[in-house]
Structure 1
Amino acid sequence: MKRVLLLGLCLSASSAFAANPVLLETPVAYAPDARGVEKVKSECRVDDLLTRHIGDVLRKLNKTGDGTIASQTDAGGASILRVQITNVFGVGGGAWSGPKATTVLADLIEDGKVIRHTRVNRWSVGGMWGGFKGTCSILDRTAIVIAKDLGRWVRDPSYQIKEEAPPQEASAPTAQIDPQKAE
């Protein structure tokens, strides 16, 4: 029994070492038709937040390097994760101005071909003490969750990233107008 267990551990360890690393293509860029408030996009640098967090997740998965590779660089047999930002939802004012969201499209590329594609949209209202956080720190929270989602998605081909609905605070209540009271 011990031999079977030892053999199983050796085989699983060798297959883990044989797996190709996945590297984040940098820079993470905005899609040509990306939406969002320009001031928030430029001040919060969501592209840099995503690069840092996704790169860290991939570095840990690969157990080597920094997890990123510059665009147009030979990947040397590694798979490439290309991420484009399509939406940065939110305005200045931190949690007081409502929830914030980041949406990205991601392609997993092997040998120059897209083998998988996904869309990730994550919302945050700042979490604990959100009222004391700024817009950029709330968007940083969305980047952290996107990085974790993409790390799992890269690692597990069967994993499907579920669309996250906006928090209750993002939906304005619909006003019911009483025709008799309308003036």
Structure 2
Amino acid sequence: MNNKNIRGMVVAAMLMTGTLAQAKDALRVQVPAAFAEQTPIEPRVKEECAVDSVLGNHVFQKIADKYPGTLQVSDPAKMEKGRVLKLTILSVQGIGGGGWTGAKAVTVRADLLQDGEVVQTAVKREHSRGGMLGGMRGTCSILEIVAESLGRQFATWLVKLDAASPVPAAPAPPALGAAAPPADQTNDQAEP
């Protein structure tokens, strides 16, 4: 093998390792969201509108827009390592009949877990706002708009959290052709 082939294999290995590490360390979002015990929700709305799936998918999509490589997880309790956003629906206000039957609202708690431990929690509530076609929309359509808004809110919350406490960047790999320092030398200085 010549040096060009060896360098190509080294670059490919570094890229594959980085990609695997990224997938392992990727943020995960719970889809579908879970209902808290005794969540107040009209049974027909729960059955027909699939609020848990709709909400989980919108939160996932909005976060994936900000954090490429984000993955879905159905059971956050099984994730012992990494960052996971656990979604719990606390209440769903609204009955069938679309905009004609009053406001629709969803309250959700998001727990950000790091290695299985809750590090931050946020509770957000969003309600329908009506609009020009408010009375013409169905209940599920209105709840989907509410879920999309909640997705944006949780994505913004997560970005603000990360901006407030930045994670230190991993050291960059050495450039190709650069000599690595000998393994037995360190840059540590003895304490006085």
Q: Same fold (TM over 0.5)?
A: yes
The corresponding residue for 1:175 is none
Partner of 1:139: 143
Residue 23 of structure 1 contacts residue 58 of structure 1 at CA under 8 Å; is this kept in 2? Answer: no
Q: Determine the C-alpha separation between the residues in 2 that align with 1:142 and 1:88.
A: 11
The counterpart of 1:91, out of the listed 85, 95, 104, is 95
Q: Give yes or no for the alignment of 1:42 onto 2:47.
A: yes
- Worse-superposed segment, 132-141 or 20-29: 20-29
Say which one has the larger Rg.
Answer: 2
Pairing of 1:1-183 with structure 2 (within 5 A): 21-65=26-70, 67-71=71-75, 72-74=77-79, 77=82, 79-157=83-161
Q: Secondary structure at the match of 2:161?
A: coil
What's the CA shift string for 1:112-139, capped at 9, x where partnerless? 1100011111000443311110011011
Task: State the AA in 2 paired with 1:27.
Answer: P
TM-score by length of 2: 0.66
Runs of 5+ in structure 1 lacking a partner? Answer: 1-16, 160-183
Structure 2 gap ranges (5+): 1-21, 164-192
Q: How many residues align?
A: 139
1:60-107 CA distance string (max 9 Å, x none): 222125x31231544763x10001111110111111111100111110
- 8 Å Cα contact 2:79-2:116 kept in structure 1: no
- The answer to whether the Cα contact below 8 Å between 1:100 and 1:123 also exists between their aligned partners in 2 is yes
Aligned residue for 1:35, secondary structure, equals coil
The two structures, once aligned, show a CA RMSD in angstroms of 2.1
Aligned counterparts of 1:43 and 1:68: Cα–Cα separation in 2: 23
Amino acid at match of 2:115: D
Percent identity reads 32
What CA distance in whole angstroms lies between the structure 1 residues aligned with 2:74 and 2:92?
A: 23
CA distance in 2, matches of 1:76, 1:112: 6
Residues 158 and 21 (structure 1), Cα distance of their counterparts in 2 relative to 1, 3 Å cut: closer
* Distance in 2 separating the partners of 1:57 and 1:45: 18
* Contact persistence 2:31–2:57 (CA under 8 A): no
2-side partners of 1:151 and 1:110: how far apart? 17
Which structure is higher in strand share?
A: 1
Contact 1:107 1:115 in 2 (8 A): yes
- Tell me the SS of whatever aligns to 2:37: strand
**Cα deviation, residue 54, structure 1:** 0.9
